[in-house]
């Protein structure tokens, strides 16, 4: 699949089933995604892969934290029901870290988002679907503790990954006219 086709046909997939990429294939795709824009090549992110029993533990944590009625609880947990949850953790490198990083945190967050976007396109090109799930659990101290996040890290959500379960193929998007978003600097 060429890049333009991948960009115009990728969709957030909410109904995902097995198979998902195995750890080796995921690592292969991540190595490519890690070449995304990243000033200073800091790679200020990490991914925690959650499958099988790990999903059961994480879903139990979600259910424990969910204060909504039972139907709301079921919906919150089902939103994370893909065969693979790639937990996206932002791990910024502070200026005073000893590594001498002059890269501001906002640029590091942009690099993390660029990597995640590249990863979703690579997954799509390989026939996998994904959706970036966020929400209140990204701020949960219990979820952070279960996943082993450090104090300075931020949980950005989960890339829910699997094989899309849909009846019709996704249609190629028609690019919108965005020329009104372009200006030319003319001093």
Prediction pTM value = 0.88
Whether residue 150 is predicted with pLDDT greater than 70 in this model: the reply is yes
Distances (CA, A) of 177 to 7, 31, 152, 182: 16, 33, 40, 11
Please tell me the predicted confidence (pLDDT) of residue 72: 47
Alpha helices in 126-173 (DSSP H): 141-147
Q: What is the mean predicted confidence (pLDDT) over 69-76?
A: 46
Q: What is the mean predicted confidence (pLDDT) over 140-156?
A: 96
Band of residue 166 on the pLDDT scale cut at 50, 70, 90: confident
Angle at 136 between CA 60 and CA 152, to 5 degrees: 95
User: How far apart (Å, rounded) are the C-alpha atoms in residues 59 and 56?
Assistant: 5
The DSSP secondary-structure symbol of 68 reads S
Band of residue 131 on the pLDDT scale cut at 50, 70, 90: very high
User: How far apart (Å, rounded) are the C-alpha atoms in residues 71 and 76?
Assistant: 9
Please tell me the predicted confidence (pLDDT) of residue 167: 67
Percentage of the chain lying above the pLDDT 90 cut: 73
Q: What is the mean predicted confidence (pLDDT) over 164-183?
A: 88
| Cα 50 → chain centroid | 13
Please tell me the predicted confidence (pLDDT) of residue 171: 83
The domain locations on the chain are 12-167
Band of residue 70 on the pLDDT scale cut at 50, 70, 90: low
The first and second tokens of residue 165, run together, are 């379960």
Determine which helix (DSSP H) or strand (DSSP E) holds 13, and give its type and residue range: none
Alpha helices in 34-172 (DSSP H): 52-65, 70-78, 105-125, 141-147
Band of residue 97 on the pLDDT scale cut at 50, 70, 90: low
Pick the CATH number of 12-167 from 3.30.450.80, 3.40.109.10, 3.30.230.10, 3.40.50.970: 3.40.109.10
User: How far apart (Å, rounded) are the C-alpha atoms in residues 122 and 128?
Assistant: 9
Band of residue 63 on the pLDDT scale cut at 50, 70, 90: confident
Q: What is the mean predicted confidence (pLDDT) over 98-125?
A: 91
Across all residues in the chain, what is the average pLDDT?
89
Tell me whether strands 154-164 and 129-133 are parallel, antiparallel or unpaired: antiparallel
Peptide bond into 136 cis (omega under 30): no
Quick: pLDDT tens for 6-37.
999 999 999 999 999 999 999 999 999 999 99
Band of residue 96 on the pLDDT scale cut at 50, 70, 90: low
The first and second tokens of residue 62, run together, are 């979600």
């Amino acid at each position: 699949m060429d890049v333009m086709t991948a960009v115009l046909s990728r969709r957030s997939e909410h109904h995902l089933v097995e198979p998902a990429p195995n750890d080796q294939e995921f690592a292969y795709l991540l190595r490519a995604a890690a070449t995304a824009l990243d000033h200073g090549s800091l790679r200020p992110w990490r991914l925690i892969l959650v499958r099988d029993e790990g999903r059961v533990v994480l879903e139990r944590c979600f259910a424990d934290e969910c204060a909504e009625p039972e139907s709301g609880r079921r919906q919150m947990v089902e939103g994370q029901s893909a065969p693979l949850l790639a937990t996206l953790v932002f791990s910024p490198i502070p200026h005073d870290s000893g590594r001498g990083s002059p890269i501001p945190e906002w640029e590091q967050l942009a690099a993390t988002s660029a990597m995640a976007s590249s990863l979703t396109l690579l997954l799509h090109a390989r026939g996998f679907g994904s959706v970036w799930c966020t929400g209140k659990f990204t701020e949960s101290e219990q979820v952070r503790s279960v996943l082993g996040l450090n104090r300075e890290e931020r949980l950005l959500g989960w890339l829910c990954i699997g094989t899309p379960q849909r009846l019709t193929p996704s249609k190629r998007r028609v690019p919108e006219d965005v020329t009104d978003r372009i200006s030319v600097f003319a001093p």
